[in-house]
Amino acid sequence: MILSQRSLAAFIAILSWTAIGAQFLISCSNSSIAISELVVRFFSYFTILTNLMVAICCTSIVLFPKNKIGLFFAKPTIITAVTLYILIVGLIYNLILRFLWQPAGIARIVDEMLHSLIPILVLIYWWSMIDQRIIHWRSIFSWLLYPFVYLLYTLWHGALSGFYPYPFVDVSELGMNRVLTNSVVITVVFLLIGLLLIRINRRIAKKR
C-alpha cells in the first residue's frame, strides 16, 4: 500500500471515529430518555452502523496491515462492500432525508461528515485501491446480507419499542405493505450501485 493510500485511510478513520463520537454526545445532550435506550436507538441507525464499519475497516487497514484483520478489510470484495454501504448512506440522506431537518452549528458539521464527506472520501479511497484482483459478480448477493439483517432488526425492534429510525421504514405510519415496497426499492438501488462498482472494478483491474 503506498503512503498516500494509508494516509487517506488514516484520515477517514479519524474522521469516522470523531463524527460518531460527536454525534453520540449531541444525541445525549438532546435526549431525555434513559441512557440504555439512547444507546440502543443510536446504534439502530444505518448511518451510525455503517460509519462505524468504515472506521473499523480503515483503522484495521492502517494499524494492522500485515495481520489477518487488516488483510481481511483490504480485500477488494470487503472494501467494495463497505464503499457500497456508505454510498447508500450518502445517497439516501442527500436525496430523501436532508430536507426533513435542519441541523445547526456543530450538529451541522457532524451531519455533513457522516453523510457527505466520509462517503466521498471512502469512494476516493476505494478507487485508489482497485488492483488486478477482479471481483466476481456473485459477490453482490453476499453484500445484501448486512442491509437485509438490518431491516429485520429494525422491523423487530420497531414492533417492540415503537421506534423506527427512518420515516420510510416506519410501519406505524406507513403500514407494512408500504414499508416492504420501500425496502424493495432500496434493495434495487443497492443492487444497481453494487453492480456498477463491480463493473468499474473489473474494467480497471483488467487494465492494471
Question: 117-146 pLDDT, tens per residue?
Answer: 999 999 999 999 887 788 999 999 999 999
Residues of the chain above pLDDT 90, percent: 84
Residue 204 pLDDT greater than 90, yes or no: no
Q: Per-residue pLDDT for 91 more than 80?
A: yes
Q: Is the pLDDT of residue 32 over 90?
A: no
Q: How far apart are CA 142 and CA 4, in angstroms?
A: 30
If you average pLDDT over residues 164-184, what whole number do you get?
97
Confidence of residue 11 (pLDDT cuts 50, 70, 90): very high
pLDDT of residue 136: 92
Please compute the mean of the pLDDT values over residues 88-107 and round it to a whole number: 93
Distant-in-sequence, close-in-space partners of 65: CB < 8 Å, separation ≥ 6: 1, 6, 71, 74
pLDDT in tens, 107-120: 999 999 999 999 99
Q: CA 114, CA 7: separation in Å to the nearest integer?
A: 19
Q: What is the pLDDT of residue 208?
A: 64
Distances (CA, A) of 5 to 26, 109, 118: 31, 25, 15
Contact criterion met (CB below 8 Å) for 161 and 150: no
Residue percentage of the chain with pLDDT more than 70: 98
Question: Taking all residues of the chain, what is their mean pLDDT, rounded to a whole number?
Answer: 94
Task: Tell me the angle at which helices 118-129 and 76-92 cross, rounded to the nearest 10 degrees.
Answer: 150
- Residues 51/86, Cβ–Cβ less than 8 Å: yes
CB 198 within 8 A of CB 206: no
**pLDDT score recorded for residue 129:** 85
For residue 122, give the C-alpha cell. 471512502
